[in-house]
Structure 1
Amino acid sequence: MRIKTTTKTEYQQRINVLVEYINNHLGEDIDLNKLAEISGFSRWHFHRIFAEFLGEPVGTFIVRMRLLQFAKEQNIQPLSFSPICLYHDDPKVTSPDKLRTDICLEVAPSVCPKGEIGTKKVLEGRFMVALYKGTYQQLGAVYDTLYGKYLPEMGLSLREVPSGEIYLNDPRNTKPEDLLTQIYVAIE
């Protein structure tokens, strides 16, 4: 998505207002329609613009912020600083407000879950693993290649387990084209 500089600055200001609102209301139900209203974008455009500017869907961002707030409040030190995301739905066929995502951090077994925060074992079993270098916005094309080309060519079958991603560097201090993402696709 190409955006004029003046429009980009205005959009960034709107996104900043949303991020502040979300961070100030993490303990509450956050209505996506209200976020769209606050942003001044239509509901549909709001989801696309939010994901374009922050590199992740709004629901994923909210869950990640809640997880980080929980870890901070409980004085939990993650064993790894690489967040793990598990995606239950295909964004090509599921509307943005219906996408389901789990955001995970590796923690010590002694950590006790609380509220919406739980523990689970993730990325167990057999996976096809790919390392991708580039912007998060292009991950959809990477998945298309994995599912449409490599899985069939390799004769692999999928398991009924969410796909996963591990983000190997921090997007806050890494150029978008240098971001590293390890992709896990569950196979039989």
Structure 2
Amino acid sequence: MKINSETKYCQTCGIPLDIDYTNLKEGQNEEYCDYCLKNGVKLYDFSMDYLLYLWGLFPEEYNKEVGTNYTSTELREVLTKRLPEIKRWKQKINTAHLQYELIIKVQEYINRHLFDDLDSEKLAQVAGISKFHFRRLFKAVSGESLGKYILRLRLEYIAFKLISTDTSVPELLGQINYQNKHTLSRAFKSYFNCSISEFRKKHSHACPEGKNPVRIEWSIEKVPHMRIAYLKLERTSNINHSFSVLWKQILQFSERYRLSSKGCKYVSLTLDYPLITLEEHSRFMVGVTLPPSFKTPKGFGIYEIPSGEYAIFRFKGLYHELNRVYRHIYLDWLPTSDYTLREPFTFETYVNTPEKTPASELLTDIYIPIIKKEK
């Protein structure tokens, strides 16, 4: 939506301004309404999401001021299109994108060097900004301090290894170069509220005798390299809404370039460990595979899934049952199989979509990166 060039809008709330620019009153600003700026002082500085939420609660205030008759839904739709086109919000959005990309770059570095010596000075250099600014920016984007973030990822990695392999704690410490067993034990118990042995015992089986709890078929296949255009699920108070918004964008993008007809697949990728990482901390991407030489679409990230051997589990049924499938895979199938995990992350592809398929007929393929266990 292009803004009417003859109409000026408040740079904060987006309300049309009724100002005589040839006769500005003392203290009046030509870019803000009197509700948002008074005598040079900003009275409100909400996020765009919260601003849309507020206008939706009080559409009558907007209608009274502007002379319209919008419902809550209509007003939110109008402002959802208008605000990103306003100069101030454009600047904030562009700045937020740049900051977000910097932190994503650092998080990817942390993923690759999780058990190396990581400190704010080194990671600030990766981001290309000062150490002081980096610390504040990292917490603002990720919701956690750098130290807590790294410690959590390390402990969750160790926890996942404990339940998905039979590796002993001393062996695991040797593999990951953790400080020592006593330091790990204290940190582990503080985070998971139980000892390492209790945690392993608690997660020893998903169900009695490893019985398959859901309709599921599996195969071992060599999977070629995949290139994915993705959007990342942000921290939010309404994760289901955010998830549906992302999928809508992915579907629109796919339809625009007719990617489905080119054999491309819808994909979701989790960078964390099922059954362990809390939902609010999960790093989750949704996307679509791209044909060779397809240009990177604006606004999307690119993730490369390496080729390799995968255990592929096909599940038929409701998406909310997938957690049960993961429990079976990691706690029953994997420990008793001839395979162990490789490092690349698990991902899912969707054979059909809810828009055109009854929920009970939905097909999801879960890809688990594996290698043969050493004899």
* Bucket of the pairwise TM-score, normalised by the shorter protein: 0.5 to 0.7
The corresponding residue for 1:103 is 286
The alignment partner of 1:105 has SS state of strand
**Alpha carbons of structure 1 residues 113 and 145: separation in structure 2 relative to 1, 3 Å:** same
- In the alignment of these two chains, the number of paired residues is 145
Contact 2:275 2:327 in 1 (8 A): no
Contact 1:88 1:100 in 2 (8 A): yes
Contact 2:269 2:348 in 1 (8 A): yes
Q: Return the match for 2:319 from 111, 133, 136.
A: 136
Contact 2:235 2:280 in 1 (8 A): yes
RMSD: 3.1
Q: Return the match for 1:77 from 250, 255, 258.
A: 258
1:87 aligns with 2:266: no
**Alpha carbons of structure 1 residues 125 and 32: separation in structure 2 relative to 1, 3 Å:** closer
Contact 1:85 1:164 in 2 (8 A): yes
1:152 aligns with 2:335: yes
Q: In the TM superposition, what whole-angstrom CA distance separates every residue of 1:55-83 from its partner, at most 9, and x where no partner exists?
A: xxx554444344445556xx422123630
> Which of structures 1 and 2 has the larger relative contact order (alpha carbons within 8 angstroms, sep 6+)?
1
Share of identical aligned residues, percent?
24
1:166 aligns with 2:349: yes
The Cα shift of 1:126 comes to 0.8
Between the aligned partners of 2:270 and 2:297, the Cα distance in structure 1 is 22
Contact 1:67 1:117 in 2 (8 A): no
Between the aligned partners of 1:68 and 1:92, the Cα distance in structure 2 is 28
Runs of 4+ in 1 over 6 A off after TM superposition: none
Between the aligned partners of 1:31 and 1:133, the Cα distance in structure 2 is 28
The alignment partner of 2:342 has SS state of coil
Q: In the TM superposition, what whole-angstrom CA distance separates every residue of 1:69-114 from its partner, at most 9, and x where no partner exists?
A: 5556xx4221236301111123543333332222232322232114
The corresponding residue for 1:127 is 310
Correspondences of 1:28-47 after superposition (within 5 Å): 33=236, 43=237, 46-47=238-239
TM-score normalised according to structure 2 size: 0.34
Letter in 2 for 1:128: A
TM-score normalised according to structure 1 size: 0.62
Q: In the TM superposition, what whole-angstrom CA distance separates every residue of 1:122-146 from its partner, at most 9, and x where no partner exists?
A: 3621111111111100101101101
Between the aligned partners of 1:168 and 1:101, the Cα distance in structure 2 is 19
Note the residue ranges of structure 1 that are not aligned, 5 or more in a row.
1-16, 34-42, 51-57
Note the residue ranges of structure 2 that are not aligned, 5 or more in a row.
1-72, 85-92, 97-232
Letter in 2 for 1:119: I
The Cα shift of 1:159 comes to 1.0
